[in-house]
Amino acid sequence: MFWKRKGKKKGTGEAEEASAVAIDESADEKEAAEEEAGSDAETAEKAGKADADGGEKEKPAEEKSADAEDEDSEGAEDTDSDEKEPEKKAAADEEAADEDDSDEETEKKSEKETEDDSSDTDTDSDTEAGSESEGADADAAEDDEDEESEDDEDESDDKPAAKKKREIEPEEPGIDEPDDDGVQRVRTAGTLEVDGEEYKVVNNTWVVKADDEGVIVIDPAHDAEAIMEAVGDREVYLVACTNGYNTHIGAAVKVAERDEAPIALHRRELRPWRKVHGAEHPPEIEIEAGGSFSAGDLEIDVLGLPGTSSGSVGYYISQLGAVFSGDTLLAGELGTVGDGYIDYTRQLHSVGEVLMSLPPDTRVLPDRGPETTVEEESGNFDSWV
């Protein structure tokens, strides 16, 4: 719009001209204002449209700006992080070290607790093991005692009646009455010496009626007076010894002396004989296994029974149905010398091959203990093998 200052009126024409000019100018101004208004509206519409388009276009720009700001921020943060990373690393190392120390302490404490628990467990285990061991030892001891008791009972059950009786009623010195066959047992006490050791013993001496006038004496042991008491007024026809131990020959010389009776002994038993009686009183009859001799009405067979000694023999009298076995075979057991056997195998063979071959009802009259029979001892033989 143009604005023009009005001048002073000089006349009408000039005024009209000025008025016309003013009207024209006013119209022009009005037209110009309308045009300008239209132009402004157009511009505003375009501007609004542009603003709408610009808003859409500006949004990515804002996002770009925001991304830029984020990148700047991240860059700043990275920069700060880079700057602070050594400090963080140091702090992390310190924290890790502290954790390691804590872990080590915890681990040590755990190990210690484990060791204590293990120690307690070991102690408890040792205690339990000790208790169990003691209990096991006690049980084992009880079992051993039970087994020994059972063994003793079994052995006791296996023993023949004669042996049981001998253990229950130990032999005492004395003189028995003669039996129906005229056989009489005399028990005398003495000492057996074996390898420098002495054993207290009670041995049998058998006085056997040979006829109405006389007797034979088998294994005169320790007490000659007791033996001669049993003989009485009868004549001693013969003194027969089963081997050379003093339990079989100790009283032989004195018993034979009164009636000057001969003494019979295996020749292999001369050495032990001399130890007891010396060389001045040798046996008059040297017997051998398989030999025989007679006395009064009796026929006597000599049976070789080596084992307790090399020259041990037995005297078998068939008329009496009796064998005098010496220390080779006792009631329920093989005979011993002292506490042991001299030659167990030979002794067992002598019993099995010689004595057990006699009639079953044969009486076995040993050098100690009660008599037995071949039949009874045959039942025990398998247990000795």
28-57 pLDDT, tens per residue?
455 545 555 455 544 445 444 444 444 444
Helix spans in 159-290 (H):
161-168, 224-231, 246-249, 252-257, 270-277
Task: Tell whether the torsion through CA atoms of 265, 243, 300 and 176 is positive or negative.
Answer: positive
Comparing 335 with 62, the larger pLDDT belongs to: 335
User: pLDDT-derived band of residue 78, with 50, 70 and 90 as boundaries?
Assistant: very low
pLDDT at 65: 45
Residue 102 and residue 96: Cα distance in Å, rounded?
9
**198 confidence band (pLDDT: 50, 70, 90):** very high
Residue in this structure with the two tokens 């050791």, named with its chain if needed: 197
The model's pTM: 0.60
Measure the CA–CA gap between 108 and 91, rounded to whole angstroms: 25
Q: Which CATH superfamily is domain 172-384 in?
A: Ribonuclease Z/Hydroxyacylglutathione hydrolase-like (3.60.15.10)
Sequence ranges of the chain with CATH classification 3.60.15.10:
172-384
Pairing between β-strand 372-373 and β-strand 322-326 as defined by DSSP bridges: unpaired
Does pLDDT of 70 surpass 50? Answer: no
Task: Give me the phi and psi of 195, to 5 degrees please.
Answer: 50, 45
Q: Out of 155-164, 285-294, 304-313, pick the least confident.
A: 155-164
pLDDT of residue 161: 56
Confidence of residue 370 (pLDDT cuts 50, 70, 90): very high
The predicted structure's pLDDT at residue 203: 97
Choose the weakest-confidence range: 66-80, 144-158, 245-259, 338-352: 66-80
pLDDT band for position 195 (50/70/90)?
confident
Give the model's pLDDT for residue 79: 44
Residue 130 has pLDDT above 80, yes or no: no
